[in-house]
Structure 1
């Protein structure tokens, strides 16, 4: 039989969410995106009186081989996108028309792309439609409405304004259509994304919607006293692309291939949600919640992606918990996929993460791009180790950075400008980049070792401020910085604190901490530890 495809993808989701920088709009945008492939897609299916084929196992491919005109099958339905298959071209085209109208009405300003095709071979059809989708990504449609010389522009986004409304400060401000819809979504109380982070029984807890302080000094977000730092976390699964390749190579039958794609997509979505819930419950268990208000704001959860805002001193622990739970939940949920593919589909996935520590008033779009680049740096370190050592899995790691100025750049640019020091023919790199969550990891420095170093620097009698002074001096005269380090080490030796410090530094390859904090290849964990301490203290 002949199949007709419709692939849809929301693009630039993070740009859409962070665009205005206002938390209530970000919350509304997050919920609108989350509902797209859940509630909104169900609305269209019901409106067109279609029945969805939902597979439970590979054997359900027979349903796809005999599907009728009134049925629709999704080989993927998550993360702001779907891949739909139909048995009738007119039904597919009608679905596209209704869906396009609904999306443009519910989420104006959200960049979307779609592709259609048809074939009797399902595997070829899916590949061909993905290729068309990839081409269409490079040909985005024009943004509507277009701004004319007569248009008033919304000052926060630069887009044509449609409404003059009161903002949170009680002042009138021109607002574009997308922002109006985001604020309306927040006001309506959409909570699909929030529910994904908490089990239904945890009704006493709620997520903050405001990071700004009032004139009386109060704030809905439960900040740590005397600190306005938050951690913007972006985590991304490893090995997803390779898993999709394994599915394609393991199932030559088109119907089985399409069904296995859906089973993989559903189990990945389930694993991500379960990991986020477990990490949130661990946060509640360990730190509690003031008046039921959690120090956490979910922003993106779909596919293998997670983006959240967490109070700075809780951010690293939440990230570690989430990545460890992600590995556990995928191992639990991927058992059937692993067995059905004869062991070719991995029985688990890992995740890497980036944490941008920022103040609550810094631009979120720039901060997210930094968090994304930190995650990419973490992935690079992990993938290099996997390739070099021919490992089965990519190690789960994290890279973090504290932003101390108003100008936010990518991690690679920051590293090049701030962390790489050249002195003569020597090059020093004042970071180890990524830290592994697995305490038994041998090829990547571990987060446990970094925490041990921080504990050594926190001990009574250790003047960590001298270490910070050394950190600033290394950019200047080498002799002065070396003398500063020597005096600090002598101070540790007098207080019998040097031995513990030296042991910690050896875990990172610093063989002679008495002389300098650098490894043989010119790297050091000292700056990472000082930054980590400043957020966790």
Structure 2
């Protein structure tokens, strides 16, 4: 008896989320994408006589592989689901295929092969524009309606009118009573406004799991000897349990970092955009982005242990790693910066983190690459780093940091960088001298050396400032190794034959923490004591 599989995936999700540039529209779009894999897909399955509760190889992360009873049923579902998605998510790209095989494994493989071909044959998007068609100014797509004299396309109209009655995406981050902001407008109500600090920076944080491809290869090899039920169960566990790990790590990081930092009106200083599979994309207030990333990565790694153990037992293999890690990119931008470009840059920096966080054996540690954008950008992460972070023959930013541990030889620790920030926050540590030193490094290396020597001599005159300077240099040594005698940078060159220093990264986190309400409140309490 041949088995039949209907497989589909949503493509162009990033373009769909960010095509209007408005935070509200991004939020409603992400909620809609999250929603369609629940009740609408259940109802489509019921309509063709299939059981929505039936275990399936995959039904998460923007894709689904559905085992059905017959070719006719699969084709009916394909027709119905295509029509449903055109109405629920106009503008999204759907790629799908129906395939058969001697087993579920063979049918899924055949469907995936057909999906590869279908990706090169995208469906036409409706409605089609004519020379006389009015276009929506935000997206350039055919307008179908107006709102306050603004022409809107079908995608924008759908997301602005849609409202979920369940907790949806936000429910995965904690209690449904949590208040999440939906705009940056200064004149909006405080119960919905994303309130930023005085520096006005928000972090676009993108994190995704390491080694998932390797894990899938092991799963594919181990699943060769499984029957249909075992194959479905193995892939169901992989899909659902991995998503559970991701969601639970996000929830715990929210409890650790975001809830304690909520505003007087109880508004969380962040807004999730994507959470599913092994991916997390979230907007976070600038000073909280690094602590949130560290908390999430630690919980993701710890929670993945149980997931790996369950797969190991089911597949009876010893080839799986003991746990999974996650790496990502963080880009700090102003609210007016195009969020689609911010996410593209965050993903580009995530690639750097993954590359730098790989050891000689191919093992990947949890890593983060961070950057602050202060102007227009047209480059990818590597070009941006080369253009803005190199002064003479010194790199003033480290490409990536270890997120979860201090004992990885491959990367300096982000925790150590945070300790360095705490040292620089001390009242006796001159922030203006630090900024001036960085500025001089770009302008005149000899002047920078002279300034650094004067500053170091001044700090070593008094016992209390000498101790502070000693902590400063110790943290630098932990990050870059042996220091040069005349500048706060490495004494050895890297593979690009340049010296390196974390001074720009220090400034980014230091200036963010100086305007953090959590830090300011702590200082005020200390003054009162």
* Structure 1 and Structure 2 fold alike (TM over 0.5): yes
Change (3 A) 1:510 1:465: farther
Counterpart of 2:49 in structure 1 is 49
Change (3 A) 1:269 1:235: same
Counterpart of 1:505 in structure 2 is 476
1:192 aligns with 2:168: yes
Structure 1 residue 470, shift from structure 2 partner? 2.1
Mapping for residues 121-520 of structure 1, pairs under 5 Å:
121-166=103-148, 172-186=149-163, 191-198=167-174, 202-214=175-187, 220-252=192-224, 253=226, 255=228, 256-341=230-315, 342-383=317-358, 385=359, 388-389=360-361, 391=363, 394-407=364-377, 409-421=379-391, 423=392, 427-436=393-402, 437-494=404-461, 495-496=465-466, 497-512=468-483, 514-519=485-490, 520=492
Counterpart of 1:2 in structure 2 is 2
SS in 2 for 1:432: coil
Retained in 2: the 8 A contact 1:37–1:79?
Answer: no
Counterpart of 2:23 in structure 1 is 23
Retained in 2: the 8 A contact 1:454–1:533?
Answer: yes
SS in 1 for 2:16: helix
Question: TM-score, normalised on structure 2?
Answer: 0.90
Structure 1 residue 378, shift from structure 2 partner? 1.0
Structure 1 residue 225, shift from structure 2 partner? 4.3
Counterpart of 1:68 in structure 2 is none
> Deviations along 1:110-161, whole A, 9 cap, x unmatched?
1121122211143333223212212322332233222211011111111111
Structure 1 residue 377, shift from structure 2 partner? 1.2
Counterpart of 1:67 in structure 2 is none
CA distance in 1, matches of 2:40, 2:191: 34
CA distance in 2, matches of 1:90, 1:281: 48
- Aligned equivalent of 1:528, options 502, 505, 529: 505
Q: Give the paired residue count.
A: 500
> Deviations along 1:319-339, whole A, 9 cap, x unmatched?
111111111222123322112
SS in 1 for 2:406: coil
SS in 2 for 1:91: helix
CA distance in 2, matches of 1:498, 1:4: 69
Change (3 A) 1:219 1:206: closer
Counterpart of 2:72 in structure 1 is 90
CA distance in 1, matches of 2:33, 2:509: 33
- Aligned equivalent of 2:86, options 104, 107, 115: 104
CA distance in 1, matches of 2:216, 2:196: 43
Retained in 1: the 8 A contact 2:173–2:254?
Answer: yes
Change (3 A) 1:513 1:285: farther
CA distance in 2, matches of 1:401, 1:282: 23
Structure 1 residue 530, shift from structure 2 partner? 1.0
> Deviations along 1:480-525, whole A, 9 cap, x unmatched?
2222222222232234133222111111234235411221111111
Unaligned runs of 5+ in 2: 494-498, 515-529
1:113 aligns with 2:111: no
CA distance in 1, matches of 2:36, 2:123: 19
SS in 1 for 2:247: helix
Structure 1 residue 288, shift from structure 2 partner? 4.1
Retained in 2: the 8 A contact 1:211–1:219?
Answer: no
Retained in 1: the 8 A contact 2:368–2:401?
Answer: yes
Structure 1 residue 285, shift from structure 2 partner? 5.0
CA distance in 2, matches of 1:130, 1:441: 38
Unaligned runs of 5+ in 1: 56-73, 167-171
Change (3 A) 1:299 1:195: same
Alignment RMSD, CA only? 2.0
